Amino acid sequence: MNKKLYIETYGCQMNVSDTEVIFAILAREGYTRTEEMEQADVILINTCSVRDNAEQRIWGRLEQFGALRKKNEGLVVGIVGCMAERLKDSLLESRKVDLVAGPDTYRSLPAMLRDIRPGAPQIDVRLSRDETYEDITPVRIDRNGVSAFISIMRGCNNVCSYCVVPYTRGAERSRNAHTIVREACDVFHKGYKEVTLLGQNVDSYFWKGPEGDVNFAGLLAMVAEISPELRVRYSTSHPKDISDEVIAVMAAHENICRHIHLPVQSGSDAMLEKMRRRYDRAWYLDRVAKIREAMPDCSITTDIIAGFCGETLQDHQDTLDIMRKVGYDYAFMFQYSERPGTLAARHYPDDIPPAEKTRRLNEIIALQNTLSLESNRRDIGKEWKVLVEGDSRRDPGQLCGRASNNKMCVFDKPKQGAALRPGDYVRVRVLSCTSATLICELI
């Protein structure tokens, strides 16, 4: 059998990593990957439920695939991932899909695909307590061959009141540390120079091994010690859990990148309490101070939600204030979107009018643009190591790559000597910047 498989991925990095697991599971069954959906025998959409607009986009996409299904009767269209978990029944009732598979059921995809018959769609959305896909070697779908995602845990045990993830991805479980280290070694030997360890809340990683327990700090050290030439990144930290030990392990390893994604969500204690984040402003600012003390060059990025239930103008000001105090290097910023079934949906009215949410979000975005620009300006004149990722998108005469602090750097290709390739490390000096990019020269 040679069936062609096309997968479209939405949502977080974890979903990209899951798509790589799905490709691996189906490759064993003879499926080959295609990037042309018109040529596919099977189309899977790996979905996200985190905000309503993410789900609306996917419903729109299903309409488009409907047209393809009319042209090609044998075409299978499936929904996998978070939205499959959340909307199983309405997806089946829509008659737009032949398969619905939740995030813990990817091992049954071959059997489900085999059993699809006209009028008999396949569904499996059972969540598991122990599935981590630890023995599966993902088929990497990145283009540059430089940077790989490695999933270290699945699910989430926090119950942030706005968040659908605990319901779509189930309970938290950590993957065997040795299989993580083996996968990191394997990608390094294949030429990758950077791994990003992924989990919803990496700080609560905990694996009980025969030779002793491994926590996240221990895991980070194990991966970092594979080679000084292998960069290590991770995402996402939870401010309530990020430990002094993790910060110390980062500081002690030059190849653990100087970047922490530390979602604050709000700068108001009242909102943080309602969001059930289990930290307050003072605690958060103390963690930031600790990070800065150990690693003055560490960039800090965040996620922010504007217009959560009952958010007053003062709460909103508190968010702007904490953004200024921390001076974030970058932020992902969202309007609150009520998710059915969450604690917030059950207990608090979604009472900030949409136009006001947008106004607050725009204020947050405008401030972050200023902060990003200020942060980049502070870097002018600095010299640092960059991992080349490839040609710059804007100018084929330039290369791009990231500094340890995750900032994107662009610089002219060398005029003489050997050409630089993706995966090479170079030293650059920062000459100027925009709010998104550092313009550098090779030194």
- Give the footprint of ligand SF4 on this chain (CB under 6 A): 11-12, 14-15, 48-50, 81-82, 164-165, 168-169
**Span 236-275, contacts to ligand 5AD by CB under 6 A:** 263, 265
Q: 286: which 2 tokens?
A: 């103390």
336 binds, among ligand 5AD, ligand SF4, none (CB under 5 to 8 A by kind): ligand 5AD
152 binds, among ligand 5AD, ligand SF4, none (CB under 5 to 8 A by kind): none
14 binds, among ligand SF4, ligand 5AD, none (CB under 5 to 8 A by kind): ligand SF4
Q: 220: which 2 tokens?
A: 């980070």
Query: With the C-alpha atoms ordered 131, 153, 177, 19, is the resulting torsion angle positive or negative?
Result: positive
339 binds, among ligand SF4, ligand 5AD, none (CB under 5 to 8 A by kind): ligand 5AD
Which residue, 162 or 234, has its beta carbon nearer to ligand 5AD?
162
Which residue, 12 or 195, has its beta carbon nearer to ligand SF4?
12
**Span 333-352, contacts to ligand 5AD by CB under 6 A:** 334, 336-337, 339
Which residue, 81 or 307, has its beta carbon nearer to ligand SF4?
81
Cα 366 versus chain centre, distance = 23
Query: What is the closest distance, in whole angstroms, from the C-beta atom of residue 165 to ligand SF4 in the complex?
Result: 4
Which residue, 153 or 187, has its beta carbon nearer to ligand 5AD?
153
Q: Count the site residues for ligand 5AD by CB under 6 A.
A: 12
Which residue, 147 or 302, has its beta carbon nearer to ligand 5AD?
302
Question: Among 10, 51, 267, 433, which residue interacts with ligand 5AD (rule: CB under 6 A)?
Answer: 51
Q: How many whole angstroms separate alpha carbon 329 and alpha carbon 332? A: 11
The answer to whether 244 and 215 have CB atoms below 8 angstroms apart is no
User: What residues have CB less than 8 Å from 313, skipping those under 6 apart?
Assistant: none
Closest among 259, 253, 245 to 228, alpha carbons compared: 253
Closest among 139, 200, 146 to 175, alpha carbons compared: 200
Which residue, 15 or 392, has its beta carbon nearer to ligand SF4?
15
> Is 184 a residue that touches ligand 5AD (CB under 6 A)?
no
Residue sitting closest to ligand 5AD (CB): 303
Which residue, 154 or 339, has its beta carbon nearer to ligand 5AD?
339
User: What residues have CB less than 8 Å from 150, skipping those under 6 apart?
Assistant: 17, 180, 183, 184, 187, 195, 196, 197, 198
The answer to whether 186 and 220 have CB atoms below 8 angstroms apart is no
Question: Among 7, 97, 112, 163, which residue interacts with ligand 5AD (rule: CB under 6 A)?
Answer: 163
15 binds, among ligand 5AD, ligand SF4, none (CB under 5 to 8 A by kind): ligand SF4
Largest Cα–Cα distance in the chain? Answer: 65
β-pairing, 3-9 with 330-335?
unpaired
Residue linked to tokens 């609560």: 204
Which residue, 14 or 230, has its beta carbon nearer to ligand SF4?
14
Query: What is the closest distance, in whole angstroms, from the C-beta atom of residue 339 to ligand SF4 in the complex?
Result: 9
Q: Note if the bond before 370 is cis, omega within 30 degrees.
A: no
> Is 217 a residue that touches ligand 5AD (CB under 6 A)?
no
Query: With the C-alpha atoms ordered 231, 229, 149, 213, is the resulting torsion angle positive or negative?
Result: negative
Q: How many whole angstroms separate alpha carbon 443 and alpha carbon 441? A: 6
138 binds, among ligand SF4, ligand 5AD, none (CB under 5 to 8 A by kind): none
Which residue, 304 or 388, has its beta carbon nearer to ligand 5AD?
304
Question: Among 76, 113, 305, 426, which residue interacts with ligand 5AD (rule: CB under 6 A)?
Answer: 305
Query: What is the closest distance, in whole angstroms, from the C-beta atom of residue 59 to ligand SF4 in the complex?
Result: 15
334 binds, among ligand 5AD, ligand SF4, none (CB under 5 to 8 A by kind): ligand 5AD
Q: 302: which 2 tokens?
A: 């965040």
51 binds, among ligand 5AD, ligand SF4, none (CB under 5 to 8 A by kind): ligand 5AD
21 binds, among ligand 5AD, ligand SF4, none (CB under 5 to 8 A by kind): none
Q: How many whole angstroms separate alpha carbon 395 and alpha carbon 385? A: 21
Q: 190: which 2 tokens?
A: 């294949």
Query: What is the closest distance, in whole angstroms, from the C-beta atom of residue 164 to ligand SF4 in the complex?
Result: 6
Query: What is the closest distance, in whole angstroms, from the C-beta atom of residue 160 to ligand SF4 in the complex?
Result: 11
The answer to whether 7 and 81 have CB atoms below 8 angstroms apart is no
Q: How many whole angstroms separate alpha carbon 414 and alpha carbon 287? A: 41
User: What residues have CB less than 8 Å from 246, skipping those under 6 apart?
Assistant: 203, 216, 217, 220, 237
β-pairing, 122-124 with 99-101?
parallel
Query: With the C-alpha atoms ordered 239, 242, 243, 248, is the resulting torsion angle positive or negative?
Result: negative
The binding site for ligand 5AD (CB under 6 A) comprises 50-51, 162-163, 263, 265, 303, 305, 334, 336-337, 339
